[in-house]
Structures are given as structure tokens and as C-alpha cells.
Amino acid sequence: MAKGYATNAIDASLRGLLAQGEVSNDLFINPKAIRPCIATMIKTGFEEGGIPDRSSISAILASEFVKLGFERNRIEHELLEWNRLNNPPLRQSAIFSTINTAIRRKYNYSCRYAFLKEFCIGQDLCIFSKGLSRVYKINFRLFFTYHWQLILSNKSKLVYWVALPELEKRKGLKPGSVIYENHVEIARFAGISKKYVRPALEELSAYGLIEYRPGTPRRWEGKATEVRRIFPIPKPPREAVLKVTNDP
């Protein structure tokens, strides 16, 4: 029994990691942005009346696509493609209703959610597992110890300290996770004009505080801006510190 259970666990882990790689390629996103359990669901068809049921899985996937920053038309496309795997497929009207709810309510299905547990590859392999959040504690005070508050522009500080943490929270992400979002939303949460977002992100990236990959304003390409805060907080260049302090 124990041997069979271990074999099944290994098979599930391999299946989840393979699905993560395939789905990230299909969606043109960073593999670190998609949970293996979600990727496995995207690659799996579900039976009517089965457990988990098709409707619950469609709600999870729709919410995950919203968190990834996908536009509505792209969410529709991806869910309808997944729906073709189901037996029988859900009604199109049901899919559209699920998307409406996901966009409006912005649900976050944590790793403790029952249906996600069924596709879990295990805490030892999954970086998204909530159990790993206690491996290390981020020292946010280093931002001030290193004098970043004096070095950065006001717009950059608003993006770093207000917008990005709020987006992580709303998307159910841990600090330092990849965020997919457009400049309009980043500007809204930072309380600044959209025209200041790119310069702020570029400054933060140049100093090594974030990883930044610009998206595209062309909605049909479905490519959102990709941002990730880097931890532990890095030290600034010595010359930058000398400009704002009297430290030797």
C-alpha cells in the first residue's frame, strides 16, 4: 500500500510539473506564474456529475486567468478551449456567466481549497504552497536601512510600496511573486498618472529592486506587464547612497 501510494504521488508530481511547463508555453507566460495544480486542471477534461465537477473547475480557472491579468476576450478563449475537453462540455452561457463572476468578485482559491489539494504536487516541489511561506521572513526594514527612501523618486516609491504590495494581496500572491497587470491598474493603485508608471518601473528595475518585462497595449496579443519584487531587498550602489547621505 505504501509503495503504491508513493508511486501515485510521484506520478502526480511529474504530471503537474509537465503540465506547468506545457501550459506556460501555451499561454506565453513565465512558468513561475502558474501553479502546477492549475496547469493540470487546464489539461484535464471532467465528466458531468463527477467530483470535482466541471462548474467548480471552470470557476477556479476563470479566477486564475483574472489573476494573471488576462483580458476578458482571452479568458473566454482559454476557457472555451478547456471546455472542449469536458464530457459533455458546459453550456457556453454558463462559461460566460462564470467569467462575469470571476471578474466582478476576484476570488482567490488558496492552496487549502479542497479541489486544488487533489491536484497538488506536494509542498517540497511547489513554490506556491502556503506551507513554504514560513521558510524565511522578509526584512522590509532593509528598504530604509539602505536609504532607498532617499534614493528613489516619489513615483517609484508609490509603485514599490503601495501599488505592488496591494496587487500581490488582491491576487492572493506572496511578496516576490510574479504579478501580471497593465500600467493603468498599477497607476490606479499607486495614485499616479499612467505616464509615470513606465519610468517608475524602469527605475526600480535599473536598481535591481524588481524584475520588469513590459507588456503591450495591443489587447489582442494578451500580453500584460510582468513585475516581480526582488527579495531579500538588495543594497543600492555606493555612489547612489553617497549622493543622499553623509555616510562614508
DSSP string spanning 23-88? HHHHHTS-GGGS-HHHHHHHT---BTT-SS-HHHHHHHHHHHHHHTT--HHHHHHHHHHHHTTSBS
CB distance 149 to 244 below 8 Å: no
C-beta of residue 113 within 8 angstroms of C-beta of residue 63: no
- Could you read off the pLDDT of 47-100 as tens digits, one per residue? 988 888 899 999 999 999 988 888 899 999 999 999 999 999 999 999 999 999
What are the cell numbers at 50? 463527477
- The structural domains of the chain, ordered by start, are 2-130 (no CATH), 136-244 (1.10.10.10)
Alpha carbon distance 102, 214 (integer Å): 25
Q: CA geometry: angle at 153 spanning 67 and 225, to 5°?
A: 25
Q: pLDDT tens for residues 116-135?
A: 878 888 777 777 764 444 44
Other Cβ atoms closer than 10 A to 239? 7
Residue-wise pLDDT tens digits, 133-189: 444 478 888 999 999 999 999 999 999 999 999 998 888 788 888 888 889 999 999
**What cell does 66 get?**
483574472
